[in-house]
Amino acid sequence: VRTSHVMYVDADFFESTHLYRVLNEPSVKSELAQDHKLTLVVPAFMVKRQCSEYTDCREDNLAQMPNTTKEMINLVMGKQAGAFDPTNRGGHGSTNYGVWYAQEEGGLYDVPCFKSNRYEPYVAFRYCEDLPPFQESFTGYGKNKMTWVMHLRRTGYDFAQLGQVFLVHYPHLDSKARLEWNKGPEEVFKSVKDEEGPEGAMRRRRPEEVDADIDWSKYSRGQMDLLYVEFKDWLYEEVQDEARVFPCKDAKDDDKMLWIKND
């Protein structure tokens, strides 16, 4: 990084065409200058895949991708787009999309609390020496962004969502890393399939009870979940708590979803 500030986002997202301009507005730059631990949350959306089959109909998908806030809102109103990601509601559930629709362009709305430890918004921030690093041990799919945000919150970073700008996910096919992440023990998927069907089995992280002795570490998800537990223990034991944003009163207990062996 050779700039004073960074906007980080996954490679499969498109940004609104005016995002760069809004980030450089004097009022926004002033807020960032006053607080070097302020992060600006850019709300993330997703559009429906335009293919009738599970294929990458690139031209049709690209034609649907919105550029402006008006186009984004029109897609949402027409039920062709929505908040990202319904299969991982904790990931962006602390972003207040209802407030975003009414925000002024470049206006800031403080995220009052986190509804989940899984919150992993895309943010703009100042690049400082005390910025927590990404944990490179988390590989493939899952847990890298959320653990970084947990570290940010623990070390006193604040979060404010930025009005009338957005990111939007391109509806690509599942990556190899995602397919590997989706693999799991048949004992889990079968028990859920019987009640909720195959789609429910893929959505469900883990049923409350599994009548089988399963080695969760054989699976990519189990490996990353165990590493996450180790990271969280280290974070709470070794990093001083300077948090300014706290869990919501009704925050979810995300650890119930982990693929780990409970002793």
**Structural domain contains residue 257:** no
Residue 187: per-residue pLDDT: 63
The reported pTM is 0.87
Dist. CA 108–CA 233, nearest whole Å = 33
Interstrand relation of 38-42 and 122-126 (parallel, antiparallel or unpaired): antiparallel
CA end-to-end span of the chain: 43
Residue 197: per-residue pLDDT: 52
Tokens of 10: 């996954």
Q: How many helices (H) and strands (E) does the chain have?
A: 10, 11
Residue 56: is the preceding peptide bond cis (ω within 30°)? no
| Co-location of 158 and 207 in the same domain | no
**Structural domain contains residue 262:** no
| Co-location of 37 and 147 in the same domain | yes
The count of structural domains within the chain is 2
| Co-location of 161 and 181 in the same domain | no
Interstrand relation of 38-42 and 158-162 (parallel, antiparallel or unpaired): parallel
**Structural domain contains residue 187:** yes
**Structural domain contains residue 116:** yes
**For residue 222, what are the domain limits?**
176-239
Dist. CA 40–CA 123, nearest whole Å = 5
User: Which residues in the chain come in under a pLDDT of 50?
Assistant: 201-203, 207
Residue 151: per-residue pLDDT: 98
Residue 162: per-residue pLDDT: 99
**Structural domain contains residue 246:** no
User: Shortest CA distance to 132 belongs to which of 148, 146, 119?
Assistant: 148
Tokens of 9: 């986002």
Residue 1: per-residue pLDDT: 86
**Structural domain contains residue 46:** yes
**Structural domain contains residue 183:** yes
